[in-house]
Each structure stands twice: as structure tokens, then as C-alpha cells.
Structure 1
Amino acid sequence: MCAIDQPTGDVLSLERETPGAAVKFDGVQKSYDGETLVVKDLNLDIRAGEFLTMLGPSGSGKTTCLMMLAGFEPPTHGEIFLDGRPIGQLPPHKRGIGMVFQNYALFPHMTVGENLAYPLKVRGLSKADIKAKVQRALDMVELSAFGGRRPAQLSGGQQQRIAVARALVFEPNLVLMDEPLGALDKQLREQMQYEIKHIHENLGVTVVYVTHDQTEALTMSDRVAVFNDGKIQQLSPPAELYEAPKNSFVAQFIGENNKLSGQVTKMVNGHCEVTLDTGAVVKAAPVNVDGEGARTTLSLRPERVTIGDTAAETTLGGRVSELIYLGDTIRARLAVEGNDEFIVKVPNHNRAVSLKEGETVTVGWATEDCHALDPIAT
């Protein structure tokens, strides 16, 4: 049993007129050895009622942030606030936070109903209130007939739904989820993404979700905080994160991305001209460049590139190396201006794709779809 499911006590009241809890990280740092910072000067405001995902690779600091918010790890420096009140001195069981883990953390010796009732019993609710709240929680995750079963009698997806229900049964205003879908297969994982999203929308609780899965983050979140090297690289709604990455790390980490390296040779009319390392000149939208003479990495999404459109704003020559049939699209890998892994997603309209491996083609795109970002270190 996670200590976070204990009574809230009188130290911090989470009652409010509107659902959800606002969270603030103010100059938070964390070091485990006193030398290396795994979280560096984190300043983050999480709005009451929003679904915010902390996304990043292993070691980026996202899980450490969640553990500090839960109370399992103390910040080395800075403060965390819940609805404007500092919680650094509060133990986990006094924070009134629900939490969902990857391994479900259900009591194997208890029935599903008893698992859900436990957080309510330790809060001193009456038997009638407990019965009603447990039934509502089971209905919420569409498992109303499973209250008498033990966790071992449930599928992985059913166990995860019960874990979500237990985190919500005592009606917390803040729920933390640490890689909760990591143990599920692809189809069930996708199904649970939508279920958790819909539960959040219906209840209005604040959810802080940690994952390294970009698709999960884009599917479920109101905003996504992309972590790397202990810092937030970008904090944006999913569409903005994908369509307008602020730096090369975000562009590479979120979705597929084609990159071309070169030097900014001209800034004109809100665009820049970049001379690629191969000598070709490309127009791009400057996002994170230092001006003329600076090195840059161009970022292009595969679905924004066309093949054979000689009227596109920018066109370059390429050679088809590989074609992979994916049903709705053909994934074409090309060699383009020194990038041998240049990907184009070609819509499969009426089986009309006639590309052939080894042929020379023209690739093209709109200037606004080509982002000039900071150079990727080599």
C-alpha cells in the first residue's frame, strides 16, 4: 500500500469549490549525490483541472519531479506548492493525492471492492458512504460486476482500471500517474489511453502523468512538458509541440523528423536561407537560430514532404532506397542531400503509388513546414 492513500488529516485541506488542484514548482532542484543535478531550476505551473504529461527519455528528470510532488523525494532546493500552499514539510500521506503505478499495486489478498474501500476506510467514512463510492468507482471504469473478484482473476487491463479507480475513489483533486500503461500490450494500451482521458474529462481532476511514450503524451494531454537533462525543453499543447518544436531535441523526440544540416546565409522577410553542407540552398522558417553565419538543423515532418511536386516552394532531388507498405500510407526512405534516412509518408490513394526502389525523384515542401533550429551536436 502506498502511503499516499492515507488520511489527509488537518494539516492541509484540499476542499475547494472547483475540482482540480493547482501545482507550482518554484526553483526546484534535485541531486542524489550532492554534486549532479537531475532536476535543474524547475519552474512549472500546472493549472487546476488540466492533464499535464511529463515526457522524456530515461534519466531526463521527469519521474524525479513526480516523486518530489508525491512526497517520496525531498527537493534539494526550491519549493513545491499545492493550491498556493507549500507542501515540502508534508509527508506523502498528508497530501491527499491519488497515485497510479505501472505495477498496479493492488492488494492481492483483497477483493476488488475491498481494494477500493481501503482508502475510504482509513479516512473514516461510514459503511454506507464507502459502499456508494466503491460502486460509483466501479461504474466509472465499467467493472461494476467485478467487485467480488481478486486482482489475480482480472486481466492486466482490468487490473489497471481498478488501480485508476482506487486512485480516484476518495475524490482527490490531484492524481499522479507514473508510467501506468507500460505493462500493457499495444492494443490495450491505446484503449486505456482514451479511457483515462475520458475519465479525466468527466471528473475534472488535475492529472500529472509521466511517460516516455510520445504517442501517449500527444493523445491524452492538455499540455506536455518535454524533459531532457533535468530541464523542460518545451511546455506546449500537443499540436503546438508537434507542429512548432522549439529546438532540435524536441523535434527529434516528438514524432518522426527529417533533419538537414547547414549554415544560415541570409535572413529576409521573416524567413532564412540555409546553405546545406552539400551546397544546396533551402528556405526555412527561423525558430531557433542565431542569425547569418550560424549553424542550423532543418526539421521537416515526413507527412509534410511530397514526392514529384515540382511546383512546391522548395524542391530537392532524392533517390528512393526503400518502400514499406503500411496500408494507409507507403513509408518511403530516400537519400536526400546527405541524409540517407530521409522519410516521406506517401498516402496510399486507390493503390496508385507507383514509386520504385532505386529511382530518382523530386521531393518538395512548403517553406513554413521547414523549421530552422539549433544545430545538433555531432
Structure 2
Amino acid sequence: MADTATNDAFVEFARVQKSYDGETLVVKDLNLQMPKGEFLTMLGPSGSGKTTCLMMLAGFETATHGEIRLDGREINNIPPHKRGIGMVFQNYALFPHMTIAENLSFPLEVRKMGKSEREEKIKRALDMVEMGAFGGRRPAQLSGGQQQRVALARALVFEPELVLMDEPLGALDKQLREKMQFEITHLAHELGITTVYVTHDQTEALTMSDRVAVFDDGRIQQLDPPDTLYEEPKNSFVAQFIGENNTLEGVVKEINNGLALVQLDGGELIDCKPVHDSVVPGARTRVSIRPERVEYNKERLQEGAHTLKAEVLEFIYMGDIFRTRLRVAGNDEFVIKTRNAPDQVRLKPGQQIEIGWLSEDCRALDA
């Protein structure tokens, strides 16, 4: 991505680096541009640099090198409270000695807003998150989900153009978490707020975002809409980190008509889409195939599908799907997921079967 300012970039990192000790770079030469109104998620394992990027944008950390711009204006030296950014954290960070209304009033008082205007904005923000009746309570009188709603309302109350969220749903149970994912996304789009969201939960990233930046080792490995990220990973790290994925190791024999012929370590030959610069004849490669793209029911195998022999190691009934673990080409962790349908065969451990998939569903990546 270019590191010059672009007209439609509302948030921009231009060649940003961050080091805490002057030697090790936690963030390496980051170039990232976000248009106004986008919901962007920074996703990655612990220590990948995603939270550091969020903290630099908020102003709690300073970039060692490069520029951070907001709406075309460089903000590197502007203190956090003057950036006009809303923040939501995992621990809610609500003031325990204040009522909910007082918690929301605080950022408005800091901005020297009059009493009647404050009251109007507090009411609107609490109604937005369906907490209108709770203004007189204290945080300790609310459940975790209610506190998180209040934290969200407080971030939105002064109508910021940018909201940053750091693992905001981490402390909630699964059901409430999923409900809040939907609510946050809906609110952000409805209000047209630009949102940067940090998480290590891939499902959360895929369901909430317009685009996802996958971080590893201080760099963005891939920045794309969720479906592109899942269907077309650019490298082995992204393929493994996003969703469940099967890998088979082998050597590239030749490349013809946009397909790489790969000889697997077990000797089998398969065709795959080469999607990495390192996939050249003679090179080792890691082949990636998603569990739901593999079929074992002969009637369902499409014309031109690749077939490989497999041994069933484990068959798990999961209600809506069957999850089968197989031994394929020497790999004991090969998983397929098939829909629970009346015509779907139930397998037994020890059974020898044939599995198949289409060449375009198979990717040849870096080794």
C-alpha cells in the first residue's frame, strides 16, 4: 500500500514503526489506510503488534518512526484527550463511584458542554444501547453485558468520528458475546462511525468487519474483506490462523494453465492454485484445503474432482454437521466437515474411503 496521504483515507498509518527498547521492532513499517465509516478489525496472536497499533492511534503510545494521520492531519504529537476518539476496553473502565449517567456525563464535561445539551446526549446514547432506564444505577448493580453496553454508550456519547475497541467482548459468555457482536456492528454502520477493533478471535473478526488486517510478527500479513481472507489466504500463516484448515506437504513438479502440479510426500499427485511467489517448480510447498470443501459421498463428487485414499480415524456427530478426522497422505489430522443431510453416509473408524475436491478449492502456499 502507498504511504502517501490519499484523499479518502480517514485513518492512515504511513511507514509506522514501534520499538520499546530501541532494538526490537514490535511494529514494522506499517502502511494502512482506512476510509471513513469502515469497520476494520486488527486480528492476530498475542505479541503480533495489533494492540500496539491501536494504542499508537489512541495516543497512549508514541510511534518510533513514521506518521499517523486522522482525516489528513498528523496526530503523532496530539495528546489522547484532544484526538476526539472514543475508546472501549475489555475491562469496561467505568468509574465505580459514579452513576451510569455520571459516567456518560464525564467526557462531555471535559469538553465543556452545557447541562441541557449533556442530558440530551446522555439520554440518546443510553437509548441507543437499550440502557435508558439504568441512568441512576452504579456499575456494580449491572451485569457484565450491561456494563459493556454502558462502556459503548460512553464511547459514543460525544459523537466521535472514530471509535477504538480493544478486545471489548473478551469477558462475556458465548451467547451474550455473539449478541453484542451483532449490536456493535449494527450501531457502527447505522451511525457511520469509523471503527478499529482489536481481537484475537477469528470468528469475531470474520462476522463483524468490513476488512480484517491479519497481524503476525509486527506486520500485516494480509488485509482483505473476510470472505477473501478465508477463501484466498495469501500465505500459510493466514490459512492456518483464519478458520479451520487442512495442510499437506509436497514438492511442486510443474506449473501449467495456472495450476501447480504437486507431488505430496506420500507420492500422490494433485493440482492446486499457486498463490504464493515461492511456488515454483522444484520448491517445497504447503497445500491448503478447507474442511467443508472436501467430499466423501461419491454421488456428490463433482466432475473433475481430485480423489485421494483416506482412512477414517474419528467420526463426530455435531448436530448440524459431521466432523470426520482422517489419515490422508501420511497426515493424521486431516478434517472434513459435511452437512447433516438424509443422504449423507455416517462413517466408522477404520473404514477406508475415497475423498475428493476441486483444484480451485486447493491452494499451494509457502512451505
What range describes the TM-score normalised by the shorter chain of this pair?
over 0.9
SS in 2 for 1:306: coil
- Out of 291, 301, 306, the position equivalent to 1:302 is 291
Supply the distance in 2 between the matched residues of 1:371 and 1:307 (Cα, whole angstroms): 20
Instruction: Decide which of 340, 353, 358 is 1:361's aligned counterpart.
Output: 353
How far did 1:21 drift? 7.9
Aligned with residue 306 of structure 2, among 311, 314, 318: 314
Q: 1:166 maps to which residue?
A: 154
Deviation digits for residues 239-295 of structure 1 (CA, Å, limit 9, x no counterpart): 000000000000000000000011110111111100011110000011014311111
Amino acid at match of 1:237: P
Q: Is the 8 A contact 2:308 2:355 kept in 1?
A: yes
SS in 1 for 2:134: coil
**2:17 is equivalent to residue 29 of structure 1:** yes
Alpha-carbon distance, 1:353 to partner: 3.4
- The aligned residue for residue 65 of structure 1 is 53
State how far apart, in whole Å, the 2-side matches of 1:77 and 1:237 are: 28
Whether 1:148 and 2:136 are equivalent positions in the alignment is: yes
The Cα of 1:61 is off from its aligned counterpart by: 0.3
Separation in 2, partners of 1:201, 1:296: 41
Q: Secondary structure at the match of 1:54?
A: strand
Give the superposition deviation at 1:352: 4.5
Give the TM-score, by structure 1 length: 0.92
Residue 280 of structure 2 is matched in structure 1 by 291
What letter is aligned with 2:138?
R
CA distance in structure 2 between the partners assigned to 1:324 and 1:368 by the alignment: 27
Structure 1: distance between partners of 2:69 and 2:297: 55
What is the aligned partner in structure 1 of residue 117 from structure 2? Answer: 129
Task: Give, in angstroms, the shift of residue 137 of structure 1.
Answer: 0.5
Indicate if the aligned counterparts of 1:320 and 1:356 stay in contact, CA closer than 8 A.
yes
1:300-333 deviations in Å (ceiling 9; x for gaps): 0000000133655210000010111110001000
Q: How far has the Cα of 1:351 moved from its partner?
A: 7.7
SS in 2 for 1:216: helix
1:95-148 C-alpha deviation (Å, 9 max, x unpaired):
110000000000111111111111111111111111111111111001111111
2:325 to 302, 319, 333: 333
Q: Does 1:82 align with 2:82?
A: no
Specify the alignment match of 1:187 in structure 2. 175
* Partner in structure 1 of residue 231 of structure 2: 243
Contact 1:21–1:205 (CA<8 Å) still a contact in 2?
no
Aligned equivalent of 2:270:
282
Residues in 1 aligned to 2:361 and 2:274: alpha-carbon distance in whole angstroms:
11
> How far, CA to CA, are the matches of 1:129 and 1:36 in structure 2?
48
Contact residue 279 and residue 365 of structure 2 kept, 8 A = no
Which amino acid is the alignment partner of residue 370 of structure 1?
C
Change in CA separation of 1:164 and 1:21 when aligned onto 2, cut-off 3 Å:
farther
Specify the code of the residue in structure 2 equivalent to 1:367: S
- Paired AA for residue 364 in structure 2: A
Query: Aligned equivalents of 1:146 and 1:353: distance in 2?
Result: 53
Q: Which residue of 2 aligns with 1:103?
A: 91
CA contact (8 A) 1:179 1:209 kept: yes
Tell me whether 93-102 or 303-312 shows the greater mean CA deviation.
303-312
Q: For 2:122 and 2:144, locate their aligned partners in 1 and report how far apart those are by CA, in whole Å.
A: 20
Identity %: 67
- Structure 1 residues 200 and 21: CA distance shift in structure 2, 3 A: farther
* SS across alignment from 1:353: coil
SS of 1:245's equivalent in the other structure is: coil
Structure 1 351/147 Cα, relative in aligned 2: closer, same or farther at 3 Å? farther
RMSD over equivalenced CA pairs, Å = 1.2
Partner of 1:372: 364
Aligned partners of 2:176 and 2:358: how far apart in 1?
37
> Of residues 343, 346, 371 in structure 1, which corresponds to 2:338?
346
Deviations 1:7-58 (A, max 9, x none): xxxxxxxxxxxxx981110100011111110100000001111000000000
Whether contact under 8 Å (1:31, 1:76) holds in the other structure is yes
2:247 is matched with 259
Q: Any conservation in 2 of the 1:21–1:173 contact (CA below 8 Å)?
A: no
Does the 8 Å CA contact 2:297/2:345 hold for their aligned counterparts? Answer: no
Match of 2:5 in 1: none
> 2:83 & 2:253 partners in 1: Cα distance?
55
Aligned length: 356
Aligned to 2:37: 49
Return the letter of the residue paired with 2:245. N
CA contact (8 A) 2:69 2:75 kept: yes
Aligned residues of 2:252 and 2:280 also touching (Cα < 8 A)? yes
Question: Structure 2: where are the runs of 5+ without partners?
Answer: 1-7
Give the equivalent residue in structure 1 for 2:3: none
The answer to whether the Cα contact below 8 Å between 1:312 and 1:364 also exists between their aligned partners in 2 is no
